Amino acid sequence: MNDQTIRNMTTDATDKTADERILICNCEGTMSLDRDALEGAFAPGCGKADFTQLCRAELGRFLEEARSGAAVTVACTQEQQTFEEALEEAGLETGVGYVNIREQAGWSEQGASAAAKMLALIEGGRVAAPDIPTVDMVSHGVCLVYGKGDAALEAARLLQDRLNVSLLLTDLEDIAPLGAMDLMITTGKIAGAGGHLGDFEIHVNGYAPVRPSSRDSLTFDFKQDGAAAKCDIIVDLSGGAPLFPSHERRDGYFKLDPGDKIGLYKAMLQVSDLVGEFEKPRYVTFHESLCAHSRSRITGCTRCLDVCPASAIQPAGDHVAIDPYLCGGCGACNSVCPTGAADYAAPSTETLLHRLRAILKTYRNAGGGHPAILVHDPRHGPGMIEAMARYGRGLPAHVVPFEVNEVTQIGVDFLLSALAYGAARVILSGPNSKASELDGLAGQVATAEAIATGLGYDSGLVGVVLEDDPQKLEDILYGLPLAVGIEAPASFNPQAEKRTNIRSAAMHMHQTASAPVDRILLPTGAPFGAVQVDVEGCTLCLSCVSACPTGALTDNPDLPQLGFQESACIQCCLCKSTCPEKVISLEPRFSFASEAAERSVIKEEEPFECVSCGKPFAPKSTIEKMVEQLAGKHWMFQGDAADRLKMCEDCRVVAQFDETSEPFKFGQRPTPRTTEDYLREREDETKDNGNG
């Protein structure tokens, strides 16, 4: 790193407070640190990279920095507990941040040239994430052990001292009768199950309780179908298919291998603690007003319903409903939702983009080149990275790990923003077990790739790697050719609105592209595109306008007119499904033209004027079609009655009551009578009687 780079970093650091300390240790010399580059990136005296054993011999220096009142960040996560215990013993309540630069950067064959990545990781760790909303679940410890033979009996025995256990046997095998009936034993097979931790409900066929008179083998009462029961926890040792889709995400349900004794004992320790109140993240914040699921009982967008692996999303009228208790947090709905109605909150994409922008900006300012973002989850990624660091070559210096709660939460807004902010490549890494959940993510990657390659960027800038072997993942990362990426990264501020981020990123990529084009065709199902209308067949009934959930199709209150704004179209098909004339088709594409964000007129007509009063009241083509279809053909519009089709709503009512042939004709309307009329008639009658 040259002196000019160090000066640039120092200049950027002047915007940061000097009331902070960044403590960087070379971990007993196992990392080669560029001290000048690391310390020069911060305000004078804030960055300190002269530590060798901060967690042991130099722990006193750590406490000195903590006592100074400055905000302290330690570039180590392995010894976090050591630092926290030292703070507690010293009576200090100062919050300290921890960032891993050892496994993620320093322990690598390219670690000596990874200073830019180290600074980027430190900067990314300083971006705070908002609190995640939660929902409460209560378990009273009612546990159902479901399975066969001795494995199920052993599990029930292990849990019965801590939980209220019932044993439902599917296969009796050679289980001998119990000497003491201290465990409820039944037989049957679960035909259906629903619910979550603290609120499961099962339906059992062939249900029967054990007979207390069982002697040399278990015998059961008469079997019956359709039995139902509730419980808080289910331990499934049946060896059959899981009771729930995406069962590993169903809180309170444990699908275990009856032949795996070690796994059984580990699971029993976890199960035995499931008594009391628990908080579960509310992974998705749902905005009903943005949902484009249906209108007027016509189904439109079903993207989230199609990709949810846990069946936690169900139709609920014109929108969908997400059950937070069933939601496993995969984030697939957030990935595919075209409007942002399903907004991931653990954390939100807006928060991720703030952290991503900080990382890439710091990396670039520190002189790093060709940054590749390795997106991973906290369950699979850290173990893979640590294995590469300890036993292999470690991560390449230009590969910057980026942790998210779930890889499947990533959408085209994140992918395009990453490229626009300067990432040369985005690699989404996950285990092989994620393969069944990748449909939504694959569509997002295809859309991002189509936009990037359509603008002339290299193909393969965004990719998914599913690998459980650290060595193979390492080989893939080192084998990827370096990509250049955008030379002038974007600086737009991330927004909460999904489509705003997408358009901001795409427009920046368009501005910096070597071969910009006005329009790019996208894969089927992409959430951008145009509505094509056969104007000759369109009667301007405007049913499509009332069905459009985003306002992409609009009318004009003063004229018979159909307008369209392409940037607002999500390709939900509601307009196509609603159109009575079947003259609408969809074209998935992304338009960079300025007209895409403006309203254009698809069709307009002069209004038809009422033949009675002359008032304009409807599109001319609509009235002409009504006359063509009904006049002289329908019994209500024979002869002169057909003229009512050409009248406005007021004149039509008047004509209806004036027609002599109308069945509702009652003759001349009688003159209203008042009290004075009755009094006058009485007086006249009295006079006539007197004269008589």
The single-letter DSSP state of residue 217 is: S
**pLDDT (tens digit, 9 = 90+) per residue, 469-495?**
999 999 999 999 988 889 899 999 999
Q: Does the pLDDT of residue 15 top 90, yes or no?
A: no
pTM as predicted: 0.86
Q: Which CATH architecture has domain 282-344?
A: 2-Layer Sandwich (3.30)
**pLDDT (tens digit, 9 = 90+) per residue, 240-289?**
999 999 999 999 999 999 999 999 999 999 999 999 999 999 999 999 99
pLDDT at 508: 97
pLDDT at 24: 98
Q: Does the pLDDT of residue 520 top 60, yes or no?
A: yes
In a 3-state reduction of DSSP, which class is residue 250?
coil
- Residue 173 pLDDT grade (very low, low, confident, very high; cuts 50, 70, 90): low
What number of CA atoms fall less than 13 Å from residue 526's CA on the CB side? 26
The single-letter DSSP state of residue 661 is: T
Q: Does the pLDDT of residue 117 top 90, yes or no?
A: yes
Q: Does the pLDDT of residue 531 top 50, yes or no?
A: yes
Question: What gap in Å lies between CA 202 and CA 557, rounded to an integer?
Answer: 56
| Matching fold, domains 282-344 and 521-604 | yes
Provide the 10 A C-beta neighbour count for residue 262.
7
Question: What gap in Å lies between CA 678 and CA 686, rounded to an integer?
Answer: 12
Q: In this predicted structure, which of 183-187, 217-221, 330-334 has the lowest mean pLDDT?
A: 217-221
- Residue 669 pLDDT grade (very low, low, confident, very high; cuts 50, 70, 90): low
Question: What gap in Å lies between CA 180 and CA 145, rounded to an integer?
Answer: 19
Instruction: Using the Cα atoms of residue 481, residue 351, residue 117 and residue 125 in order, give the sign of their dihedral.
Output: negative
178 or 115, greater pLDDT: 115
pLDDT at 692: 52
Question: What gap in Å lies between CA 484 and CA 494, rounded to an integer?
Answer: 23
Strand partners, 556: 559
* Strand pairing category for 372-376 and 399-403: parallel
**Full DSSP string of 546-563:** HH-SSS-EEEETTEEEEE
User: What mean pLDDT is predicted for residues 1-23?
Assistant: 52
Centroid of chain to Cα 209: 45
pLDDT at 637: 74
Find the helix or strand (DSSP H, E) in which 122 lies: helix 115-125
**Full DSSP string of 308-373:** -TT--EEEETTEEEE-TTT-----HHHHH-SSSSEEE-SS-HHHHHHHHHHHHHHHHHTT--S-EE
| Average confidence score pLDDT of the chain | 91
Inter-residue contact 408 to 331 (CB < 8 Å): yes
Per-residue tokens: 307: 């990709």
pLDDT at 88: 95
Q: Which CATH architecture has domain 136-279?
A: 3-Layer(bba) Sandwich (3.50)
**pLDDT (tens digit, 9 = 90+) per residue, 174-190?**
676 666 667 888 999 99
- Residue 5 pLDDT grade (very low, low, confident, very high; cuts 50, 70, 90): very low
Range among 172-186, 209-223, 488-502 rated most confident: 488-502
Inter-residue contact 473 to 388 (CB < 8 Å): yes
pLDDT at 181: 62
For residue 508, with 0-12 CB atoms within 10 Å meaning exposed, 13-18 middle and 19 or more buried, which class applies?
buried
Q: Does the pLDDT of residue 293 top 70, yes or no?
A: yes
- Residue 465 pLDDT grade (very low, low, confident, very high; cuts 50, 70, 90): very high
- Residue 96 pLDDT grade (very low, low, confident, very high; cuts 50, 70, 90): very high
Q: In this predicted structure, which of 200-214, 304-318, 404-418, 671-685 has the lowest mean pLDDT?
A: 671-685
Using H for helix, E for strand and C for coil, what is the string for 39-94? HHCCCCCCEEEEECCCCCCCHHHHHHHHHCCCEEEECCCCCHHHHHHHHHHCCCCC
Per-residue tokens: 391: 């036993």
> Rounded to 5, what percent of the chain is helix, strand, coil?
35, 25, 40
Provide the 10 A C-beta neighbour count for residue 488.
9
Q: Which CATH architecture has domain 521-604?
A: 2-Layer Sandwich (3.30)
Inter-residue contact 344 to 283 (CB < 8 Å): yes
User: What mean pLDDT is predicted for residues 369-380?
Assistant: 96
CA distances from 201 to 195, 234, 314, 388, 431 (A): 6, 10, 19, 45, 32
pLDDT at 435: 92
- The single-letter code of the amino acid at 15 is D
**Full DSSP string of 556-596:** ETTEEEEEE-GGG-----HHHHH-TT--EEEEEEEE-SGGG
Q: Does the pLDDT of residue 685 top 90, yes or no?
A: no
pLDDT at 17: 54
Question: What gap in Å lies between CA 404 and CA 356, rounded to an integer?
Answer: 11
User: What mean pLDDT is predicted for residues 338-359?
Assistant: 96
pLDDT at 7: 33
The single-letter DSSP state of residue 104 is: I
Question: What gap in Å lies between CA 42 and CA 119, rounded to an integer?
Answer: 10
Measured CA angle at 620 (ends 619, 625), to 5 deg? 105
Share of the chain above pLDDT 70, in %: 93
Q: Does the pLDDT of residue 535 top 60, yes or no?
A: yes
pLDDT at 12: 43
pLDDT at 8: 38
pLDDT at 664: 52
pLDDT at 180: 64
Instruction: Return the domain boundaries, the chain.
Output: 3-98, 136-279, 282-344, 350-516, 521-604, 625-692
